[in-house]
């Protein structure tokens, strides 16, 4: 069942998330390397079916079995706290955040993540490549390499 609630992100977690992106909102792969993270790709922005199932599975290692979504525009704002939206870490949660109810979020680049941070998924607002970054086991799970 979807929680669909907002979750404030601030302080250390917000600083870490912001460090992953350039000022123009581009994922900084060099920062991923510094964390010993790898970056994988899905050649689409649509995360449905197997892609949604795999990403949900990758996020299931989080303490709450949920993931958060925030637009990159919101993330890079000057605010000291940003609001992320919480979804269940499963196929339904990944597909729900892309539904018409979340249309505005889908028009912007967004980042999916957990707290504590186990990995991230950067989904573009327009048709493009979705990036998955994190430790090897997270990226493998999100790409369906089990």
Task: Give 30's contacts (C-beta < 8 A, 6+ positions apart).
Answer: none
pLDDT in tens, 28-43: 999 999 999 999 999 8
- DSSP string of 69-126, one letter each residue: EEEHHHHTSS-SEEEEEEEESSHHHHHHTTSGGGHHHHTS-EEEE-SS---EEEE-SS
Does 113 have pLDDT greater than 70?
A: yes
pLDDT in tens, 4-28: 688 999 999 999 999 999 999 999 9
Does 3 have pLDDT greater than 50?
A: no
CA dihedral 110, 67, 62, 76 (to 10 degrees): 40
Does 72 have pLDDT greater than 70?
A: yes
| CB contact at 8 A, 33 and 49 | no
Tell me, what's the pLDDT at 2? Answer: 47
pTM exceeds 0.85, yes or no:
yes
d(CA 120, CA 95): 16
Tell me, what's the pLDDT at 105? Answer: 79
Task: Say how many CA atoms lie within 13 Å of 69 toward its Cβ.
Answer: 27
């Amino acid at each position: 069942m979807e929680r669909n609630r907002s979750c404030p992100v601030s302080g250390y977690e917000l600083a870490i998330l912001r460090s992953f992106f350039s000022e123009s909102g581009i994922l900084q792969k060099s920062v991923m390397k510094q964390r010993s993270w790898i970056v994988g790709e899905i050649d689409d922005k649509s995360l449905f079916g197997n892609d949604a199932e795999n990403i949900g599975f990758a996020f299931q290692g989080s303490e709450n079995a949920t993931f958060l979504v925030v637009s990159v525009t919101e993330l890079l704002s000057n605010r000291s706290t940003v609001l992320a939206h919480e979804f269940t870490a499963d196929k339904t949660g990944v597909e729900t955040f892309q539904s018409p109810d979340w249309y505005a979020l889908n028009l912007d680049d967004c980042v999916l993540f957990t707290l504590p941070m186990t990995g991230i998924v950067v989904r573009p607002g327009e048709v493009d490549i979705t990036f998955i970054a994190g430790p090897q086991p997270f990226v493998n799970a999100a790409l369906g390499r089990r």
